[in-house]
Amino acid sequence: MSKAKLKKKRRLYAVLIGMGLLGVATALVLTAIEDTLVFFRTPTDIAAETPAPDQRLRLGGLVAKDSVEPQEDGITTRFVIEDGGPHVVAVTYTGVLPDLFREGQGVVTEGVLINGVFRADEVLAKHDENYMPKEVADALKEQGVWQEGEPAPSPNALPSASYGGKATQ
């Protein structure tokens, strides 16, 4: 093997090994600081590790079916956040809810947990990864594939969900 070729090979290995080490180092750092990378905690997380009484945190999950109760003052809303596990957290929020807020929809709230009730001062709607026209969403509900208030299924995962109609505006 010529000297130039050997040098090229050495540089190739140096780059590959360097990138490999960098990857390992990054993975270690990310694992170590995982708590700060997580944008919100779920009811299960909070059940496992109860936050300090006046600690501000973000609580996220799905708005439980039939749990949204507008309060008498007209601006406060009570609802329950669930994450599919056995734990749920009741939330109260005073303010205007975002357009996407509804039962079965993901939500991220920020506030303080007081006596088991989460008092939120900010509510953000979380969008899911399903994109479909209203006709398809209605068809999925009509066919019973999707129960009202439950998380939406993918418009393409089910053969019965085929939507032959032309796009409408």
Partner 1 sequence: MSTNVFHRYANPTKFIGLASAIIPFAWGLTILLGGYGLYLGLFNSPADYQQGETVRIMYVHVPAAWMALGCYTTMAIASAIAIIWKHAVADLIAEETAVIGATFTVLCLVTGSLWGQPMWGTWWVWDARLTSMLVLLFLYLGFMALKNAFDDPQRGTQAARLIALVGWINVPIIKYSVEWWNTLHQPAAVARLDGPTIHPDMLTPLLLMGGAYMTLFTALLLVRVRSHIMERRARSIALALAEARGAGPDEDPAGLRDGATP
Q: CA neighbours within 13 Å on the CB side: how many for 88?
A: 12
Task: Give 75 or 100: the residue with its C-beta nearer to partner 1.
Answer: 100
**Residue 22: Cβ within 10 Å count:** 10
Q: Which of 55, 129, 142, 159 binds partner 1 (CB under 8 A)?
A: 129
Q: Who contacts 17 (Cβ-Cβ below 8 Å, separation ≥6)?
A: none
Alpha carbon distance 51, 73 (integer Å) = 29
Alpha carbon distance 81, 84 (integer Å) = 10
Residue 123 sits in the site that holds partner 1 (CB under 8 A): yes
Residue 142 sits in the site that holds partner 1 (CB under 8 A): no
Q: Which of 6, 30, 48, 114 binds partner 1 (CB under 8 A)?
A: 30
Stretch that binds partner 1, among 64-72, 73-81, 95-103, 113-121 (CB under 8 A): 95-103
Site map (CB under 8 A) of partner 1, residues 37-76, x = contact: xxxxxx-----------------x----------------
**Residue 59: Cβ within 10 Å count:** 24
Q: Which of 57, 88, 117, 137 binds partner 1 (CB under 8 A)?
A: 137
- Rg of the Cα trace of the chain? 24
Task: Give 160 or 169: the residue with its C-beta nearer to partner 1.
Answer: 169
Alpha carbon distance 140, 169 (integer Å) = 19
- Nearest approach, Cβ of residue 151 and partner 1 (Å): 12
CB 77 within 8 A of CB 90: no
Task: Give 71 or 154: the residue with its C-beta nearer to partner 1.
Answer: 154
The 8-class DSSP code of residue 84 comes to: S
Instruction: Enumerate binding residues for partner 1 (CB under 8 A).
Output: 8, 11-12, 15, 18-19, 22-23, 26, 30, 34, 37-42, 60, 98-100, 105, 108, 123-138, 154-157, 163, 167-169
